[in-house]
Amino acid sequence: MKKSKLLLEMVSAFMALIVIMYGAPAYAEEEKGVPQEPRAEEEIPLEGTAGPDNATASITFGLFNKYVSRGYVYSSQSMVIQPAITFAYKGFGANIWGNIDTHETATQSSVPERPGSVAFNEVDIKLSYTRTWGIFNLTGGYIYYATHYSKPTQEVYIAGAFDIITKPVLTVYRDFDSYPGTYFNLAFSHSIPVPDVKDMTLDLGASFGYMTGSSDYWRIYEKYSCPPGSTDCITGGCTGKKYSAFHDGMLMVGLTIPIAQGFTVQPVAMFTFPLSGDAMRKVDGESYNPSGWIGQHFIYGLNLTYNF
């Protein structure tokens, strides 16, 4: 009882901090970019049909050189701080994740409200439920993305995972609000124990995404063209077919280091890259994909985590 009460108090305090620092959701008038999936990894229990009976929770603070999600860049030349809290009980999970940009700057996928300022510009709320059958886990959930640099939106998702080597996870996200579309992500991960060091692991990961838009927002950019003798001219703009392409890839390496009971620090390095020519394509200097082109990015930083 004391532990459950402590967890509830910490969750309440974290949410109160978000309300104080973040305020009511708002967005820039120009709708650029789609918000990202939360950075805290999905908690998928591997034993029992609906997770352990005892409540578990974790608090994480991430510190990174930039903010990239699904290949889209949401910060430029600034450090970002990403706090998160995760709570799980009998298969049910809740996660709150935030992003603090220390020097908010416009990118091809975001329009800041206060350029050059420190901004708590995103809070994501994720609710989920997981069931387990042997080595297979199935998770369904809902995510609300409250962003200040683009229009807030909502997604539902379903993820299937196998508890085998490389731990493959296929997740399908469906945006049903501001940016209707579907994003598929196939991810792999593997942790290798470091010899002679208890609980220290070398962590490897990779993921690959496919994006397909289903609303007019996702119409691709077409360059100006006017066939000779024709009045049926195309002016430069997002007037083409809806974007659908192999989208983004990510490679990751990290080192989980225990520093005290329940505390770990994890230095992380990631490399993100486009998976197709359409994902990185520009037309007349404008992004073929209305949410921004996908480039190559090197992300580094660390996560501080307390599990209890």
String of DSSP letters for 49-63: SS--SS-EEEEEEEE
CA 57 to each of CA 83, 143, 167, 301, 302: distance values in angstroms, whole numbers, following the listed order = 14, 19, 22, 23, 19
pLDDT reported for residue 280: 96
Mean pLDDT of the chain: 85
Q: Domain range for residue 151?
A: 2-307
pLDDT in tens, 179-194: 999 999 999 999 999 9
Beta bridge partners of 105: none
pLDDT in tens, 59-69: 999 999 999 99
Looking up tokens 């959930």 gives: 141
**Per-residue pLDDT for 212 more than 90?**
yes
Sign, CA torsion 113/116/119/125 = positive
| Report for 17-21, 48-52, 212-216: range of highest mean pLDDT | 212-216
Confidence of residue 237 (pLDDT cuts 50, 70, 90): confident
Q: Which residue has the higher pLDDT, 44 or 105?
A: 105
CA 119 to each of CA 37, 53, 75, 153, 256: distance values in angstroms, whole numbers, following the listed order = 19, 39, 11, 19, 29
Mean pLDDT in residue range 292-305: 96
Mean pLDDT in residue range 245-264: 96
Q: Which of 240, 21, 14 is nearest to 122 (CA)?
A: 21
pLDDT reported for residue 77: 85
CA–CA gap between residue 268 and residue 252 (Å, rounded) = 7
Looking up tokens 């591997």 gives: 46
Q: Report how many domains make up the chain.
A: 1
For the chain, the distance separating the N- and C-terminal CA atoms, rounded to the nearest angstrom, is 14
Confidence of residue 44 (pLDDT cuts 50, 70, 90): very low
Confidence of residue 41 (pLDDT cuts 50, 70, 90): very low
Read off the CATH number of the domain in which 113 is found.
Answer: 2.40.160.40
The pair phi, psi for residue 279, each rounded to 5°, is -65, -35
For residue 217, give the DSSP letter.
Answer: G
Counting residues of the chain whose pLDDT is more than 90, the rounded percentage is 70
Q: Where do the DSSP E strands lie in 65-152?
A: 68-69, 72-73, 80-89, 92-101, 119-133, 136-147
pLDDT reported for residue 32: 36
pTM over 0.85: no
pLDDT reported for residue 17: 46
Confidence of residue 285 (pLDDT cuts 50, 70, 90): confident
Confidence of residue 36 (pLDDT cuts 50, 70, 90): very low
CA–CA gap between residue 30 and residue 32 (Å, rounded) = 6
